[in-house]
Amino acid sequence: MEYDQLKLDQQICFPVYAASRLITKAYQPLLENLGLTYPQYLVLMVLWETDSLSVNGIAERLILNTNTITPLLKRMEAHGLLERQRSSEDERRVIIKLTDKGTELRHKAAEVPIRLMEGFSGSDLSQNEITALKETLLKMIELLK
Amino acid sequence: MEYDQLKLDQQICFPVYAASRLITKAYQPLLENLGLTYPQYLVLMVLWETDSLSVNGIAERLILNTNTITPLLKRMEAHGLLERQRSSEDERRVIIKLTDKGTELRHKAAEVPIRLMEGFSGSDLSQNEITALKETLLKMIELLK
DNA sequence: TATGAATATATCGTGCACGATAAAAAAAGT
DNA sequence: ACTTTTTTTATCGTGCACGATATATTCATA
């Protein structure tokens, strides 16, 4: 029987999976200086743009399950980066607000993506390819959501 | 101060991360029928192509740490999918061999990638885009390894 | 006004995934 | 032949990530 479709090199899923982990790995030393993990950094990027979001709002933005977000936010709260407050308007909701410490990290984090992209410049990965990659991934994400 | 480079929509890392998890999620119901998790399925794809690999050989193929692979293989051995054997030629190495059960799963798994790709056909994601995506990801992987 | 449906968060359990470290075996160097 | 270095796997600890389930609150319906 033919099994070509089961060959690892024939998969699209595997390079996405491998690239994702390698990117996270590449971020790790840069984020370690800020006392952050990669998922924590993603949460902060969301909150730096839009403070006072609900747990569900952050989960939707990051396309993560709320049962992943809740423990993540609790750890960040323990680190003094944000505060969790039950909404008085709708008691089902928990509103997440940055602390001064969480806000101030934004300044230090500003160079992180620049440093990360430095690893790609000067390579044979063109800006056009990166742009096209992102657009195709966004289409794929829409299909899979 | 300008923080555009910290906007989530400006990142290439986030769509890769999100797409990876959504792809894994999409596989989950298909693999559940076979009693497999996604990482276990990746291991089997490697072994179906080349049996009798070392732990390190599988780790290299999947670009995973050996301390991720070892517990994964132990769980698969517990499920009777493979056997782990210390090499007599080099006792540092553990050789992984498929059992009959592990080999037979290949037949059932043959339709998994086909079913997964069905979700993309008929969409506005062309085959050319998927091919280009894969090539760019492979370049990125080479840079990050 | 009461009931059922929907929504939001939290907990539990399990499976990864990786940094750090340890131990054993093989290879390299003197 | 002995010592040092390198390689391979394993363990520990921690941080996710998700399926399933539970609880509380709000919304929709009768």
Residue A24: in which H helix or E strand, if any? helix A13-32
Burial category of B3 from C-beta neighbours within 10 Å (exposed 0-12, middle 13-18, buried 19 and up): middle
Helix/strand/coil for B2 = coil
**Which of A20, A113, A136 has its CB closest to that of B20?**
A20
Q: Per the domain annotation, does A105 fall within a domain?
A: yes
**Which among A76, A46, A41 has a CA at the least distance from the CA of A61?**
A46
pLDDT at A124 over 90: no
pLDDT at A46 over 80: yes
Report which DSSP code applies to B93: -
Q: Per the domain annotation, does A130 fall within a domain?
A: no
Judged by CB atoms closer than 8 Å, whether chains meet at A132 and B132 is answered as yes
- When pLDDT is averaged across residues A96-102 and rounded to a whole number, the result is 97
ipTM surpasses 0.90: yes
Side chain identity, residue B87: S
- When pLDDT is averaged across residues A50-64 and rounded to a whole number, the result is 97
The structural domain count of chain B equals: 1
Q: Per the domain annotation, does A64 fall within a domain?
A: yes
pLDDT at A123 over 90: no
Side chain identity, residue A37: T
Cα–Cα distance for residue pair A48/B80, rounded to 1 Å: 49
Question: What confidence tens digit (pLDDT) does each residue in B61-85 have?
Answer: 999 999 999 999 999 999 999 999 9
Q: What is the CATH number of the domain that holds B64?
A: 1.10.10.10
Q: Which is higher by pLDDT, A134 or B120?
A: A134
pLDDT at A86 over 80: yes
- Strand D, nucleotides < 7 Å from a protein CB: these are 7-13, 15-21, 24-27
Cα–Cα distance for residue pair A100/A55, rounded to 1 Å: 20
Which nucleotide comes closest to B20 if you measure CA to C1'? D17
- pLDDT tens for chain B, 145 residues: list them: 788 999 999 999 999 999 999 999 999 999 999 999 999 999 999 999 999 999 999 999 999 999 999 999 999 999 999 999 999 999 999 999 999 999 999 999 999 999 998 888 888 889 999 999 999 999 999 999 8
- Work out the number of other CB atoms within 10 angstroms of the CB of residue B81: 24
pLDDT for the residue numbered B122: 80
- Work out the number of other CB atoms within 10 angstroms of the CB of residue B20: 22
When scoring B25, B36, B121, B133 by the number of chain A Cβ atoms within 10 A, the one with the most, hence best to mutate, is B133
pLDDT for the residue numbered B124: 82
pLDDT for the residue numbered B145: 87
Judged by CB atoms closer than 8 Å, whether chains meet at B3 and A48 is answered as yes
Judged by CB atoms closer than 8 Å, whether chains meet at A137 and B16 is answered as yes
Please give the full DSSP string across A66-90, using - where no structure is assigned: HHHHHHHHHHHHHTTSEEEEE-SS-
Strands of A53-54's sheet in order across: A53-54, A94-98, A82-86
Q: Per the domain annotation, does B140 fall within a domain?
A: no
Q: Per the domain annotation, does A138 fall within a domain?
A: no
End-to-end CA distance of chain B: 33
- When pLDDT is averaged across residues A21-34 and rounded to a whole number, the result is 96
pLDDT for the residue numbered A21: 97
Query: Would you say the C-beta of B55 is within 7 Å of strand D?
Result: yes
Q: Per the domain annotation, does B86 fall within a domain?
A: yes
pLDDT for the residue numbered A2: 81
Q: Distance from CA of residue B21 to its chain's centroid?
A: 12
pLDDT for the residue numbered B134: 96
Strands of B82-86's sheet in order across: B53-54, B94-98, B82-86
- When pLDDT is averaged across residues A90-111 and rounded to a whole number, the result is 96
How is residue B52 written in tokens? 């009798």
Judged by CB atoms closer than 8 Å, whether chains meet at A144 and B7 is answered as no
Structural domain of B53: 10-113
pLDDT for the residue numbered B39: 98
How is residue B113 written in tokens? 């990638």
pLDDT for the residue numbered B35: 95
Q: Per the domain annotation, does B129 fall within a domain?
A: no
pLDDT at A37 over 80: yes
- Work out the number of other CB atoms within 10 angstroms of the CB of residue B99: 15
Cα–Cα distance for residue pair A100/B1, rounded to 1 Å: 17
pLDDT for the residue numbered B119: 82
Q: Per the domain annotation, does B15 fall within a domain?
A: yes
